[in-house]
Structure 1
């Protein structure tokens, strides 16, 4: 599987990469489907999200969308959500992962690459309930002895 184009998140005035797809659950239940323009974007869209404070609570909003209705036709947020310039992500409960710092290891699959640390944010129905950083290390390379015997050379 190919590494995927990340979503974008605007948080604290900064635009950062987002290795989570908060729109996927909404699309699943609404029956919306987009066309993949290339192998680095199997979902067929890229969303831009923003965490905005509303009445003292930080909430997740979809503020821009670039989606492939067909291979040639790209549509935007107002095509999917008519009359809205931003959409509160009330459907999203889960964790957002935002990679930070230098890339420690590239992995040619999904959002598998490892960075110095990840900013992790937990949401419940679109409301930010907790955030923390996870510091990562360069993944240890497996040695032959770490594999089952039937996978080792000469077995």
Structure 2
């Protein structure tokens, strides 16, 4: 059986358009860290995201989408998200297999590639206080701005439950 090709930015934008979700994308040099992306803040308003792809010891996978400066306690977050044990970071191979992205480009939009529903996505409730949130459109050389409530609509349209929980301090 051949591996499914991850969806492209164009696929993502067409899917958003089909849902009637407004989105705006700004291209920029690739950024791999929150520190590098801070330079873009003045140009891109709204809440900026940090994404943690983690797993528990029973191989349950989670994607935590939080505000970029928020702190997630990896020792205790499993108690909030329904993990079977403390979580650790998922391997890059699994990240590509499930979300279709490389480390540095992890994004809530990656669930568009998770057709097998292998990943549970959690959006931090602090982030939802921002009207606009910014996520990489499956690659780290662009940033896509979308209304926070539309991000939840997008997640649900991919067949995932958008869990909004307080997972940061």
Query: Is TM > 0.5 for Structure 1 vs Structure 2?
Result: no
Answer 1 or 2: which has greater strand percent.
Answer: 1
Higher RCO, 1 vs 2 (CA within 8 Å, ≥6 residues apart): 2
Answer 1 or 2: which has greater helix percent.
Answer: 2
Structure with bigger gyration radius: 1
